[in-house]
Every structure is written in C-alpha cells, then in structure tokens.
Structure 1
Amino acid sequence: MGILRTIFWVLLAVVLVLFAINNWQPVEVRIWNSLVLETKLPALVIGAFLLGLVPMWALHRTQRWRMRRRIAGLEATIARPNTVAEIPATTTPSPPA
C-alpha cells in the first residue's frame, strides 16, 4: 500500500511541475479597488488548492484522532474484568393468579 501512495505523490508532483512550467506567467488579482496583487499563476492555483485542502485535512485528522481515542476507551472498558456479582438463579416464576 505504501508503494501506491508513493507513486501517487510522485505523479502529482510531476503534474504540478508540468503545470507550473507551462503556465508561468504573471497574473493580476484585484483584491480591492486600489489593491492589486501581481503573482504567478501556479502560485495562485496552488494557494487556492491549499486554502481548500488544509482545513478539510485538519478536520479529518481531528475526527480520526477522536474516534481512535473513543475506540481505545471502549476497548479498555471491555478488557476490564467483570466485577459485577452474579445474580443467583431463581426458580421459574409462578403464573399470575
């Protein structure tokens, strides 16, 4: 599974480099009427991608951490020896009159 992950990241890096090489041109981003940011197109695209990815990635990691802690707590509860005394068996109840 690790080799697939490595191949994926290498392919993504190659595609990103090819995109950056083919689109290395300045673009103007108008933030306000008088404030204009001049940047390269790949920086703008990568920044927008990370702006959307990072919060969702952080949320995913947080939920995964919480679930692992919850599962560990439940497993610890199950692993504890049962200390409840057994209730003695009684005879079958008589039918109501």
Structure 2
Amino acid sequence: MKIVRTVTWIVITAVMVAFIAMNWKKVAVNFWPLDDGNYLHFEWPVGVVALLFFLLGLAPSWLYLRAVRWRMSRRIASLENSLRASSMPSVSTRSETPAASGASSPATPLETPSNPSSAEV
C-alpha cells in the first residue's frame, strides 16, 4: 500500500513540475494599493502563482481533515479505555470462589453402569 502512495506523490509532483515549467512566463501580481494610486506588485512566473494559490485553497480542507482525524483518534482512545475499564473484573468478584459463595459444583462424578454386561460391549 505504501508503494501506491509513493507512486501517487511522484505523479502529482511530476505534473506540478511540468505545469510550472510550461508556464514560466513572468507576470505582474498586484498585492496592495499604495498612496499614489499604484500597486505594490511583484513579477512572478505564472506556474509559481498558480501553485501558491492552489496550496492556499488546499490548506483549509487539509486542516479540517487533520482536526477530524485528531478528534476521532481521541474518541477511539476514550472508548477503548472505557471498554478496558469495564471489562476488568472488580476486586469483590475476583476474590469470590464458587466454594466460598456457597454454590455447589454442577459437575457430578461419572457413574459406573449398573449392568456390567452392557459395559463390556
């Protein structure tokens, strides 16, 4: 299963590198308006800008997934601990034995047959 994950990441990385390489044309990205009516801008390759905004869009989903996994792992650990605590016998039931509680043993010794001739058959 790890090989599938590794191959998937290699394919995703190759696609991103190919996309960035094919779109290496620089464009002006306006960030903030200045007092004189111009903008603070930087010239970056289109592929880098696209990758940056893709990662910014992916971040909320990834953070939500991590939070759900964390919450579920805590819930599972809590349920496992409560199951472990409820399955342990209490101290009072461990110390009692059937003889001490007054209960007779249900097992009876095997009796020999009353007719000896039928036992030899």
Q: TM-score, normalised by structure 2?
A: 0.62
> Partner residue of 1:92?
none
Of the three residues 72, 79, 93, the one matched with 1:74 is: 79
Partners of 2:56 and 2:38 in 1: CA distance: 24
Deviations along 1:28-78, one digit per CA (max 9) or x if unpaired, are 223335213321111101100110112221221111111111111011111
Of the three residues 58, 61, 65, the one matched with 1:60 is: 65
When the two chains are superposed, the root-mean-square deviation of aligned CA atoms in Å is 1.8
Letter in 2 for 1:66: R
Query: SS in structure 2 opposite 1:24?
Result: coil
Question: Is it true that 1:34 corresponds to 2:38 in the alignment?
Answer: yes
Partners of 2:66 and 2:89 in 1: CA distance: 34
After TM superposition, what 4+ stretches of structure 1 lie above 3 angstroms from structure 2? none
**Residue identity (%):** 37
Partners of 1:30 and 1:69 in 2: CA distance: 44
> Partner residue of 2:50?
45
Aligned residues: 84
Q: Could you say which structure has the larger radius of gyration? A: 2
Partners of 1:29 and 1:20 in 2: CA distance: 16
Partners of 2:24 and 2:89 in 1: CA distance: 67
Unmatched runs of 5 consecutive residues or more in structure 2 = 91-121
Unmatched runs of 5 consecutive residues or more in structure 1 = 84-97
